[in-house]
Chains A and B, each alone.
Chain A
Amino acid sequence: MPNVKITLDGAQYEVDNKKTILEAARDNKIHIPHFCYHDKLSASGNCRICLVEVEKMPKLAISCMTQVAEGMIINTKNERVINAREAVMEFILINHPLDCPICDEAGECKLQDYAYKYSKGFSRFVDTKNHKEKRVEIGPRVMFDAERCISCSRCIRFCDEIAGVHQLQFVNRGDRVTIQTFPGESLDNPYSMNVVDICPVGALTNKDFRFKSRVWEMSFTDSVCHGCARGCNIEIGVRNNEILRLNPRRNDDVNSAWMCDHGRLNTWKNVNAENRIKSSKIRKEGQLVEVGWDEAIAKAASELKSFGKNEIAVLGSAFATNEDNYVFAKFAREVLGTRNIDFCPHVEGTDDAVLIRADKTPNASGAELVGIVPQENGMDFQQIISAIKAGKIKALYCLEDDIASVPGIEDALSNLEFFAVHATNHSKTTQYAHVVFAASTYAEKNGTVTNFQKRVQRVRPAVTTFEQDRALDNFEMSRWDKFAAHNDKWGKGPRRDARPSWKIITSIAGVMGTKYKFNNADDVFNEICQKIDGFKGLSYLKVGVKGAVVKQNHVAV
């Protein structure tokens, strides 16, 4: 890549000649404000706030579309540039409703931030503001407020260029310009909610989240979406120990800056749901009854002991972490001695061209890698189900997976003499279980999942359970978490007596006479990294926030 020398605000830099001024400045830690520019979309050059002075150019130039050239002398903060910037801010704000106090975007609004950073702090505008449509249901999942819109066109370009559907368009002219879908159509593509994230103002809001919380009242924890095998990087937004929303987190190797609407909306509601299993249960006289951990563990241990090795099968889970599956596979081999180890696949439809994968689980490849595979002469998933129906398999131990919802499985389950499950929520499957362990959701535990690219990615606890404390366990904290008084309702959100599956299995192993030295998820992962080839050389530190790819005898971080 040929380099050119440029002068930026008086300092010399050598930069790639294909870069724009804005990109070259950004790469050198000089921030040039921008609304319409988004590095994952084509440039539109319309907001005009990124104007900079380039020597020998008579007019100010938009830095988002002006390519650097040898010897260019650029000024990003002299008086002329600042005046133009303040002018753009003033123009944008004259017709903006300035309704930050009731706007969902407040606190994470580019316009609000820039109003503090780059505007004069007052307006000379004394005339009547323009009025436009408010509360427009522009799509089934997105609301539009035309008065807040600054016509940056990011949402239009997102639909055209990323989602691949031309759903949004400007209509009208001048300061009457607004965004519309074609008559009778709506913003309903599977990625529609990303426009909420990239909207630099509160014009496009998330119907599911709007009015739920001020963003500064929430904590944000880096995690991974559990909606499919893509494993989109996300942030979990939590207030008062309840998840309120997910947002995509940038990872160019996985999901760019996006996630699908399904993942955003449907992969976490179970965490807060009424049907959460809040503590472990044993079936007594046909009913599941809450019991303490010790009783549930003792019951499972004694039941499992009562069956012969070949009468037992275990099902790991493509929804559980590598850590959970690893300990489970180890337990099945070493303690139960069974060869019948597998997990239930969940494949629906086909992969799309953007992010969505046909494999609807977050960790199928991880489960396999850490040992959830039939052992020599052992049965696979379908064989296990057939063997249960035939009465050959009498006891089944199943990790977090509602297997009964898969057609053809339910019949088999009633045939079992003993059925233990780890579950986060009541389901069809738990109706057949004799012991139900209250498992932590992915949002309540440390661990890793491995996506379809064999990229190991971290999940972190965002919601506390009985065994955790926000401050002591280094959770991400909101302002309220830190500063609310003890008599505030704050911090009194629902907590459940759930544990990560690996921990529950470790306890059962202990009762059955095998002590595993796993005190936390790191211990499990470290053993995975020692024992499993592809994981060698990895650690939570190396997995970091962007993940690391597992390869045969080779780990690329």
Chain B
Amino acid sequence: MEKFILPEIKDHHQIDVYEQHGGYAALKKAVQMKPDEVIDEVKKSGLRGRGGACFPTGLKWSFMPKGNDKPKYLAVNGDESEPGTFKDRQIFEFNPHLLIEGIIIGCYAMGINAAYIYIRGEYGKWISMVDKALADAYAKGYIGINILGTGFSTNIYTHQGAGAYICGEESALMNSVEGERGYPRIKPPFPAQRGLWGAPTTINNVETMSNIPLIINKGAEWYSKIGVAKHPGPILVGISGHVNNPGVYEIPTGVPLLTLINDPQYGGGVPGGKSIKAVIPGGSSTMILRGENLEGVNMDADSLKAAGSSVGTAGIMVMDEDTDLVRVLARIAHFYHHESCGQCTPCREGTGWLEKMLHRFEHYEARKEDVDMLVNVANQIEGNTVCALGDAAAWPVQSFVKRFREEFEKRVKEKEEINAA
């Protein structure tokens, strides 16, 4: 398949090369359209957000109030902190102008004059690369005052995160941009009503924005035919874990998971020819799948939903037959405990409790009743928190125990045996 987001063109990150290959043509086309026509085009394309929730992008844009009587903002989420996810980094490095072009079009469509690209602080090198690309785009008049002589003006800034996972949560991200503590906000009000500095704000993922120029260039009709109908378009998947070729791959949605793991052009199979014990398909918070249940599961929202998981950020983590899943879950629980912001009770206290219990499982110190208690504590967190971090911490626990209960029971039994011995 032709690559659109990460085309295999040398030095495509340079603005001249980008322009030679049709770069900024979409912007030129978009500014000839009415803003609402741009939003309609995005709606018709069927593009769904690539940040994890798969929310229809055009619909999200249509929530923004019309008119220019008060400031509106766009925040582009490049925090990319979900374990197993490393796709936005490829865009920053290899195709930053595609992202920038998408952002300018988005700003034009929603009547926004300032956009922030929020990039995790650990991505120092890539922040510089984006800054360079922005400077070049400013120099060419694609950003700034009176873009391409249209009278439309917008500025784009990078904003560096300081190391907190929670700042990838859209409302905590806004607090972070404002210089406040990265605490998620209570919703409602939603960002389109009250976002950055109290003004209407849209937050989109980096990869989502990088799809916009394609839609404008080639039309919604063309775009909607890529991949599966209900979740169309090219999608970046990050394959990691026990595969021969870990990396980021651009695919049309709907490619079978097993193809992605085993096909030589993607993951290239499990090292040593071992069997697959488990796969986490969309970043660490998505529900784990058993290796033997992967047949017929495809990389798109609906297929993964039917399989009892979700596409998330498309960070596929493959675990072979020798993987200690209890240890994996303990590590995941450590992450969410470490990253819980501490604002609301169930997540603040629950994530720590989960980690402590899983530490006991890991060290064969769990009690029989702890298996069910683990799930119960996760259930007590899920749905009762300010933001989705609580859910993100609960889902792995729920799904690991549900689908691999024997691994947890074994840790109890072995302890009993140790005691007996």
A258 to nearest B CB, angstroms?
25
Which of B345, B353, B367, B385: most chain A Cβ within 10 A?
B345
Contact indicator A88/B181 (Cβ below 8 Å)? no
Interface readout for A77-103 with B: 1 if CB under 8 Å, 0 if not? 000000110011011101100000000
Interface readout for A43-66 with B: 1 if CB under 8 Å, 0 if not? 011111101000000011010010
For the complex, what is the distance from the CA of A284 to the CA of B360, rounded to whole Å?
A: 82
**Across the two chains, which residue of chain B brings its CB closest to A127?**
B356
Contact indicator A87/B357 (Cβ below 8 Å)? no
Does A173 make an interface contact (CB < 8 A)?
yes
B370 to nearest A CB, angstroms?
9
Does B349 make an interface contact (CB < 8 A)?
yes
B141 to nearest A CB, angstroms?
42
Does B229 make an interface contact (CB < 8 A)?
no
Does B202 make an interface contact (CB < 8 A)?
no
Per the 8 Å Cβ criterion, residues 330-349 of B in contact with A are: 337-349
Contact indicator B380/A91 (Cβ below 8 Å)? yes
For the complex, what is the distance from the CA of A46 to the CA of B344, rounded to whole Å?
A: 4
From A174-182, A366-374, A500-508, give the one contacting chain B. Answer: A174-182
Contact indicator B186/A94 (Cβ below 8 Å)? no
Per the 8 Å Cβ criterion, residues 35-73 of B in contact with A are: none
Question: In the complex, which residues of chain A have a beta carbon less than 8 angstroms from the beta carbon of B346?
Answer: 48, 87-88, 91
Question: In the complex, which residues of chain A have a beta carbon less than 8 angstroms from the beta carbon of B349?
Answer: 91-92, 94-95, 175
**Across the two chains, which residue of chain B brings its CB closest to A65?**
B186
A133 to nearest B CB, angstroms?
15
Contact indicator B186/A62 (Cβ below 8 Å)? yes
Contact indicator B342/A151 (Cβ below 8 Å)? yes
Does A193 make an interface contact (CB < 8 A)?
no
Contact indicator B353/A125 (Cβ below 8 Å)? yes
Question: In the complex, which residues of chain B have a beta carbon less than 8 angstroms from the beta carbon of A92?
Answer: 345, 349
B385 to nearest A CB, angstroms?
7
For the complex, what is the distance from the CA of A62 to the CA of B383, rounded to whole Å?
A: 11
Contact indicator B357/A127 (Cβ below 8 Å)? yes
Does B215 make an interface contact (CB < 8 A)?
no
For the complex, what is the distance from the CA of A92 to the CA of B166, rounded to whole Å?
A: 21
Per the 8 Å Cβ criterion, residues 374-410 of B in contact with A are: 380, 383-386
Chain B residues touching A, range? 20 to 34
For the complex, what is the distance from the CA of A134 to the CA of B344, rounded to whole Å?
A: 22
Does B121 make an interface contact (CB < 8 A)?
no
Question: In the complex, which residues of chain A have a beta carbon less than 8 angstroms from the beta carbon of B344?
Answer: 45-48
Contact indicator A46/B181 (Cβ below 8 Å)? no
Question: In the complex, which residues of chain B have a beta carbon less than 8 angstroms from the beta carbon of A28?
Answer: none
Contact of A174 among B339, B360, B384, B386 (CB under 8 A): B339
Contact indicator B341/A173 (Cβ below 8 Å)? yes
Contact indicator A88/B345 (Cβ below 8 Å)? yes
Contact indicator A60/B356 (Cβ below 8 Å)? no
Contact indicator B352/A175 (Cβ below 8 Å)? yes
Contact indicator B380/A173 (Cβ below 8 Å)? no
For the complex, what is the distance from the CA of A271 to the CA of B172, rounded to whole Å?
A: 52
Q: A65-B186, A173-B341, A174-B341 are in contact. Are A60 and B348 (CB under 8 A)?
A: no
Does A124 make an interface contact (CB < 8 A)?
yes
Contact indicator B342/A177 (Cβ below 8 Å)? yes
Per the 8 Å Cβ criterion, residues 123-171 of A in contact with B are: 124-128, 130, 150-151, 169-170
Does A172 make an interface contact (CB < 8 A)?
yes
B159 to nearest A CB, angstroms?
20
Contact indicator A91/B186 (Cβ below 8 Å)? no
For the complex, what is the distance from the CA of A65 to the CA of B383, rounded to whole Å?
A: 16
Question: In the complex, which residues of chain B have a beta carbon less than 8 angstroms from the beta carbon of A130?
Answer: 352
B248 to nearest A CB, angstroms?
29
Contact indicator B342/A87 (Cβ below 8 Å)? no
Contact indicator A170/B181 (Cβ below 8 Å)? yes
B361 to nearest A CB, angstroms?
12
Per the 8 Å Cβ criterion, residues 348-369 of B in contact with A are: 348-353, 356-357, 360, 367
B100 to nearest A CB, angstroms?
32
**Across the two chains, which residue of chain A brings its CB closest to B338?**
A174
Contact indicator B164/A173 (Cβ below 8 Å)? yes
Question: In the complex, which residues of chain B have a beta carbon less than 8 angstroms from the beta carbon of A88?
Answer: 345-346, 384
B58 to nearest A CB, angstroms?
24
Question: In the complex, which residues of chain B have a beta carbon less than 8 angstroms from the beta carbon of A126?
Answer: 367
Contact indicator A173/B357 (Cβ below 8 Å)? no
Contact indicator B352/A173 (Cβ below 8 Å)? no
For the complex, what is the distance from the CA of A143 to the CA of B181, rounded to whole Å?
A: 24
Does B373 make an interface contact (CB < 8 A)?
yes
Interface readout for A254-297 with B: 1 if CB under 8 Å, 0 if not? 00000000000000000000000000000000000000000000
Contact indicator B337/A175 (Cβ below 8 Å)? yes
A430 to nearest B CB, angstroms?
55
For the complex, what is the distance from the CA of A172 to the CA of B341, rounded to whole Å?
A: 8
Interface SS of chain B: helix, strand, loop or mixed?
Answer: helix
Contact indicator B384/A173 (Cβ below 8 Å)? no
Question: In the complex, which residues of chain B have a beta carbon less than 8 angstroms from the beta carbon of A174?
Answer: 337-342, 347-348, 351-352
Question: In the complex, which residues of chain B have a beta carbon less than 8 angstroms from the beta carbon of A48?
Answer: 344-346, 384-385
Q: A84-B384, A174-B337, A175-B340 are in contact. Are A151 and B348 (CB under 8 A)?
A: yes
Contact indicator B373/A91 (Cβ below 8 Å)? no
A59 to nearest B CB, angstroms?
5
Question: In the complex, which residues of chain A have a beta carbon less than 8 angstroms from the beta carbon of B341?
Answer: 173-174, 177
**Across the two chains, which residue of chain B brings its CB closest to A170?**
B181
B350 to nearest A CB, angstroms?
6
Interface readout for B314-343 with A: 1 if CB under 8 Å, 0 if not? 000000000000000000000001111111
Interface readout for A12-54 with B: 1 if CB under 8 Å, 0 if not? 0000000000000000000000000000000011111101000
Which of B181, B346, B349, B353: most chain A Cβ within 10 A?
B349
**Across the two chains, which residue of chain B brings its CB closest to A96?**
B349
Contact indicator B385/A173 (Cβ below 8 Å)? no
Question: In the complex, which residues of chain B have a beta carbon less than 8 angstroms from the beta carbon of A46?
Answer: 343-345, 386
For the complex, what is the distance from the CA of A113 to the CA of B298, rounded to whole Å?
A: 52
For the complex, what is the distance from the CA of A279 to the CA of B182, rounded to whole Å?
A: 63
**Across the two chains, which residue of chain A brings its CB closest to B389?**
A174
For the complex, what is the distance from the CA of A170 to the CA of B353, rounded to whole Å?
A: 21
B75 to nearest A CB, angstroms?
22
Contact of B384 among A51, A65, A124 (CB under 8 A): A51
Question: In the complex, which residues of chain B have a beta carbon less than 8 angstroms from the beta carbon of A91?
Answer: 345-346, 348-350, 353, 380
A239 to nearest B CB, angstroms?
35
Contact indicator A150/B353 (Cβ below 8 Å)? no
B332 to nearest A CB, angstroms?
15
A427 to nearest B CB, angstroms?
50
Contact indicator A47/B345 (Cβ below 8 Å)? yes
Contact indicator B342/A49 (Cβ below 8 Å)? no
**Across the two chains, which residue of chain A brings its CB closest to B379?**
A87
Contact of A87 among B186, B351, B384, B386 (CB under 8 A): B384
For the complex, what is the distance from the CA of A87 to the CA of B384, rounded to whole Å?
A: 10
Contact indicator B345/A173 (Cβ below 8 Å)? no
For the complex, what is the distance from the CA of A528 to the CA of B177, rounded to whole Å?
A: 63
For the complex, what is the distance from the CA of A62 to the CA of B181, rounded to whole Å?
A: 22
For the complex, what is the distance from the CA of A65 to the CA of B337, rounded to whole Å?
A: 26
Q: A48-B384, A84-B384 are in contact. Are A169 and B338 (CB under 8 A)?
A: no
For the complex, what is the distance from the CA of A44 to the CA of B352, rounded to whole Å?
A: 22
Which of A44, A87, A130: most chain B Cβ within 10 A?
A87
Question: In the complex, which residues of chain A have a beta carbon less than 8 angstroms from the beta carbon of B356?
Answer: 127-128
Contact indicator B380/A90 (Cβ below 8 Å)? yes
Q: A127-B360, A174-B338, A174-B340 are in contact. Are A150 and B384 (CB under 8 A)?
A: no
Can you report 14 A-B residue pairs in the complex whose CB atoms are below 8 A from each other?
A46-B386, A47-B345, A87-B346, A87-B380, A91-B345, A91-B346, A92-B349, A169-B181, A174-B337, A174-B339, A174-B340, A174-B342, A174-B348, A175-B342
Question: What 6 A-B pairs come out closest when comparing CB atoms?
Answer: A177-B342, A91-B349, A87-B380, A174-B340, A127-B356, A175-B352
Chain B residues engaging chain A, CB cutoff 8 angstroms: 164, 166, 181, 183, 186, 337-353, 356-357, 360, 367, 373, 380, 383-386
